[in-house]
Amino acid sequence: MTLSLWLSLLGASTLISFTPGAGAINTMTNSLNSGFRRSMWGILGQQAALLIHVIVVAAGVGLLVSRSPLFFTAIRYAGAAYLVYLGVRLILAKPQGSEEIDLRGRESALSMFRRGLWVNLLNPKAIVFFLAFTPQFIRLDAPAAPQYLVFIGTIVAVDIVVMWLFFAASAKSFSRFTATERGQRILNLTFGTLFIFVAALLVFIH
């Protein structure tokens, strides 16, 4: 991959990562509930999903998904249902007392990783997006493996930096709300509603 092409990839990846979505909401929620440092586990789960999406597209399965309305719709509704589940669970979550707040971060790393994985994985539009996005940066007259390594390495590195140092760090400014039950209810309602809103977009915007 030439330097000019890689710089284009870097710019495009940065813009994509800064676009608010379920991944950003999940990252901010993790940062608030488990702390800035431990939110990285959810981010890593989201990156694992991105890696799977690129592998799916590279293997040609992405084309199959994009051309199968039934398969695409099934994954789309499954993804929306999962986001609604996360949103409702957050809205109904019981506010923590002061002693419980001191014990924040008890959610396991595996649990945050798994949730991050499913948040990004159950998004069929990501497959279609990579299906359209990937060919722009992969030359057919050059070895594929090194190009895909640079491609996914750049996307993952950029997304980790943006998610952790922007979205997770931004959530720290809301941390004062978690000190009171009322503040926790407001934050849970806000982020829970955002999850449901993104789910609605996934279902109704084609």
Instruction: Give the domain ranges of the chain.
Output: 21-204
Would you call 92 helix, strand, or coil by DSSP?
coil
Residue 108 reports pLDDT greater than 80: yes
pLDDT, tens digit (0-9, with 9 covering 90-100), for 49-104? 999 988 888 777 666 666 777 877 787 788 788 888 888 988 887 776 544 444 45
Distance CA 198, CA 159 (A): 19
Least confident of 25-34, 40-49, 76-85, 114-123: 76-85
Q: What is the pLDDT of residue 162?
A: 94
Are the beta carbons of 31 and 43 closer than 8 angstroms? no
Q: What is the pLDDT of residue 102?
A: 47
150 band by pLDDT with thresholds 50, 70 and 90: very high
Please give the C-alpha separations between residue 17 and each of 32, 97, 163, 177, 178, in angstroms, as whole numbers.
20, 35, 7, 26, 27
Question: What value does the CA radius of gyration of the chain take, rounded to a whole number of Å?
Answer: 18
Q: What is the pLDDT of residue 195?
A: 81
Average pLDDT of 32-38? 87
- Nearest-5° Cα angle at 56, 54 to 58: 65
Average pLDDT of 164-186? 79
Instruction: Phi first, then psi: give them for residue 122, nearest 5 degrees.
Output: -85, 50
Mean pLDDT of the chain: 82
Q: What is the pLDDT of residue 165?
A: 93
DSSP for 136-164, written as a single string? GT--TTS-HHHHHHHHHHHHHHHHHHHII
Least confident of 25-29, 79-83, 104-108, 192-196: 104-108
Residue 10 reports pLDDT greater than 50: yes
Instruction: Phi first, then psi: give them for residue 2, nearest 5 degrees.
Output: -70, 160
Q: What is the pLDDT of residue 205?
A: 62
More confident residue, 176 or 188: 188
Please give the C-alpha separations between residue 175 and each of 72, 81, 143, 186, in angstroms, as whole numbers.
38, 28, 48, 12
Distance CA 83, CA 78 (A): 9
pTM for the structure as a whole: 0.77
Distance CA 66, CA 9 (A): 23
Residues in the chain: 206
Top-ranked range on mean pLDDT: pick from 17-21, 31-35, 49-53, 177-181 = 49-53
Distance CA 153, CA 51 (A): 9
